[in-house]
Chains A and B, each alone.
Chain A
Amino acid sequence: MSELLQVSVIVGILTSAIRLATPYLYAAIGETFAQSSGVLNLGVDGIMLVSAYASFFVVLHTGNLWLGLLAAIIVGLLMGLLMSFISVTLKAEQGISGIGLYMFGLGLSSLLFKTTIGTVKTVTGFQPVKIPLLGDIPFLGKIFFNQSLLVYGAFLLVPIAWWVLEKTTWGLKIKSVGQNPAAADSLGVSVDRVRYVSVCLGAILAGIAGASLSISLLNLFQDNLTAGQGFIAVALVYFGGWRPVGVLWGAMLFSIVNAFQLWVQVLGVKIPSDVAIMLPYLLTIAALAITTNRGRQPAALNKPFERGES
């Protein structure tokens, strides 16, 4: 057990955790925007999958990583528009439209992969980039400042998202539409438009999450590449209390424990692997159970808005 407390192991755990947290951060912060405006999008995993495929396909054929990232953004936007149309304009039951979107994304990504690529291949994705000076700090440098651009992006997203939600008029509109759409509507805010933007923004970020897997962290595409990470991301929004910083805590807790349990296994600690694998999930529930600062659920979450209803 004491081997786990060695510095090299701790550095290893944290470095892994930063990598593992990246897709969760993109997807969960994106979902935070959507949910803050009152829309629950359970289709995040499906969006991640199609975007992962799209960005991988583009990089495979052009070698241009930024084009690949753009492809992911476009796919995310398109799927976000679809989700917005169904959830906001057609006022459908959001939980289930999300599941439908997930099924569609899962099927479409596999179908496209099979018909256009056909076998597992690898690409050279975003490579780790050392930040000058900061990257040379002992220990911290290796953990934080030697990661790929998309990883840096995920963490930079946290303060940016915080700033947008807390300090801009736009953020205020998003939150008001999520808390009390009728009031916002009477003040002249277009509830539908705000929700469209939030859901699409969330979907774009989910798309980048997918790209972070296929053209940065894993550098390949395979059927069901995300294996349900999108759902974990949605769960993390609740953990984070609809605040980007809270989401960061949740993503890091989950990822650190995940990285930790891998080291536990590698070092041969005598605990059944299945129990080790459970640890991140158990601890996430436990952590939320003991936190008191819960954040306020947007009052209008999962409730379609129709003028004339309250």
Chain B
Amino acid sequence: MFKRSLVVLLLLAVLVSACAAPTAAPTQAKAFRIAVVMPSATTDMAFSQSMWNALVTIQKEMGGEAALEIKYSENMFNVPDAATAIRDYASQGFDVVIAHGSQYGSSVQEIAKDFPKTTFAWGTDVNTFGMPNVYAYTAAAEEGGYVNGVLAAKLTKSKTIGVTGPVEVGDAKTYIDGFVQGVAAVDPTIKVSKTWTGSFSDVALMTEAAKTHIAAGADILTGSSQSVVGSIGAAKDAGNVLWFGTQQDQASLAPNLVVASQVYDWTGMLREIIASNKAGTLGGKTYTLHLSNDGLKIAYNSGYALPADVKAVGDKAIADIISGAVKVEP
């Protein structure tokens, strides 16, 4: 009896405080506000982190939190939850809401209708649904894949290269397809083996896949997804296996063995979106990160002594893709 009433009292206390507590912190005057919803963690060393890093960079550029307010929700792999988050941020009056996951598409399509004054940016995809306040963005990952492939083909001594992938979809697929084309362009006799672990997060299996490639003779590895940190670890254990990365600069994980990483640099796109929003244009465009627009960068690792002639070949590949002399199929 007593216990029950105690519980009821506690419950009432919580509800009362709910009414008494302030509704929301007053927003900074004139700060630009961006919210981002991501399917994995900001620390994933891959897709989500690339956007997070870009936002943090832009924030510093603009003058810190007083100039740019950023709110985020990570690990939103449940799409209806993400939809709620997107809608919630929009109704809180954020200027730009970034839906950083291809699975959020239908949510954006529905929600953008209800918030005509908010800019929605979603990726990776190319569809803006014909709405004036929606941007779509994607990365032509196959381009950087091609360049990495060219470099790898030049550096491999065993003529065997291993690719450790998660699931053959999205930019994991396009990156690897580009990589294979790059290798073939230099030397079609080089053997490129691909393994897929069936998961984006299974680091143990990814590590073992990498070790299997190494045992089968690969002296260069590449791959995609957050679990690829395991492959880098395997390369480190082997001591002399080189790594090519994507989505993020992965040099910090193996300072002597990472040759280069394709980096997704969203800052250019973000700058444009912010500027356009301030000028009154809220969407209607598709952004694709290319080598040509600096959205994709090949970050050579200074910790690895890349021979100058090899680097020249890599740079030429970059230039060729930019000029259109070389076309990479996704």
Residues of A within 8 A of B (CB): 8-9, 12, 15-16, 19-20, 23, 110, 113-114, 118-122, 213, 217-220, 222-227, 229, 258-259, 262-263, 265-268, 273-274, 277
8 CB contacts below 8 A, A to B, read A23-B204, A219-B236, A220-B203, A222-B229, A223-B44, A262-B195, A265-B194, A277-B196
Decide: A225 and B209 in contact? CB cutoff 8 A. no
Decide: B236 and A273 in contact? CB cutoff 8 A. no
Q: How far is the CA of A118 from the CA of B202 in the complex (A)?
A: 19
Chain A residue contacts of B254, Cβ below 8 A: 122
Q: How far is the CA of A121 from the CA of B253 in the complex (A)?
A: 6
B31-69, CB < 8 A from A: 40-45
Residues of B within 8 A of A (CB): 40-45, 75, 162, 168, 193-199, 201-205, 207-209, 211-213, 215-216, 226-227, 229-230, 232-233, 236-237, 252-254
Chain B residue contacts of A273, Cβ below 8 A: 168, 194-196, 198
Q: How far is the CA of A24 from the CA of B198 in the complex (A)?
A: 19
Shortest CB distance A121–B (Å): 8
Shortest CB distance B227–A (Å): 8
Taking A218-B230, A223-B43, A266-B162 as contacts, is the C-beta distance between A122 and B204 under 8 angstroms?
Answer: no
Decide: B233 and A219 in contact? CB cutoff 8 A. yes
Shortest CB distance B77–A (Å): 11
Q: CB < 8 Å: which of B45, B212, B236 contacts A263?
A: B212
Chain A residue contacts of B226, Cβ below 8 A: 222-223
Chain A residue contacts of B197, Cβ below 8 A: 277
Chain A residue contacts of B212, Cβ below 8 A: 12, 16, 259, 262-263, 266
**Chain A residue at minimum C-beta to C-beta distance from B193:** A266
Decide: B195 and A227 in contact? CB cutoff 8 A. no
Most buried by B among A16, A113, A217: A217
Question: Apart from A120-B44, A122-B254, A267-B216, what 20 extra A-B contacts exist at CB < 8 Å?
Answer: A15-B215, A23-B204, A110-B41, A114-B41, A114-B43, A119-B252, A122-B229, A213-B204, A217-B207, A222-B201, A222-B203, A222-B229, A223-B40, A223-B43, A227-B199, A227-B201, A258-B205, A265-B195, A268-B193, A277-B196
Closest 7 CB pairs of A and B: A273-B196, A277-B198, A265-B195, A227-B202, A12-B215, A262-B212, A120-B45
Decide: A265 and B193 in contact? CB cutoff 8 A. yes
Decide: A224 and B201 in contact? CB cutoff 8 A. yes
Shortest CB distance B166–A (Å): 10
Chain A residue contacts of B213, Cβ below 8 A: 266
Decide: B196 and A265 in contact? CB cutoff 8 A. yes
Q: How far is the CA of A273 from the CA of B236 in the complex (A)?
A: 26
Interface of A (DSSP majority class): helix
Decide: B43 and A229 in contact? CB cutoff 8 A. no
Shortest CB distance A97–B (Å): 21
Taking A265-B194, A277-B196 as contacts, is the C-beta distance between A227 and B204 under 8 angstroms?
Answer: yes
Decide: B203 and A119 in contact? CB cutoff 8 A. no
Most buried by B among A220, A229, A266: A266
Most buried by A among B203, B216, B226: B203
Chain A residue contacts of B211, Cβ below 8 A: 16, 19
Decide: B198 and A122 in contact? CB cutoff 8 A. no
Shortest CB distance A54–B (Å): 17
Decide: A20 and B204 in contact? CB cutoff 8 A. yes
Decide: B193 and A218 in contact? CB cutoff 8 A. no
**Chain A residue at minimum C-beta to C-beta distance from B200:** A227
**Chain A residue at minimum C-beta to C-beta distance from B236:** A122
Chain B residue contacts of A219, Cβ below 8 A: 233, 236-237
**Chain B residue at minimum C-beta to C-beta distance from A255:** B208
Q: How far is the CA of A4 from the CA of B37 in the complex (A)?
A: 45
Shortest CB distance B130–A (Å): 35
Chain B residue contacts of A229, Cβ below 8 A: 204
Q: How far is the CA of A218 from the CA of B193 in the complex (A)?
A: 22
Q: CB < 8 Å: which of B43, B44, B198, B207 contacts A218?
A: B207
Decide: B216 and A266 in contact? CB cutoff 8 A. yes
Q: How far is the CA of A17 from the CA of B131 in the complex (A)?
A: 53
Shortest CB distance A129–B (Å): 14
Q: How far is the CA of A218 from the CA of B204 in the complex (A)?
A: 7
Shortest CB distance B111–A (Å): 27
Q: How far is the CA of A110 from the CA of B253 in the complex (A)?
A: 19
Decide: B202 and A220 in contact? CB cutoff 8 A. no
Shortest CB distance B136–A (Å): 27
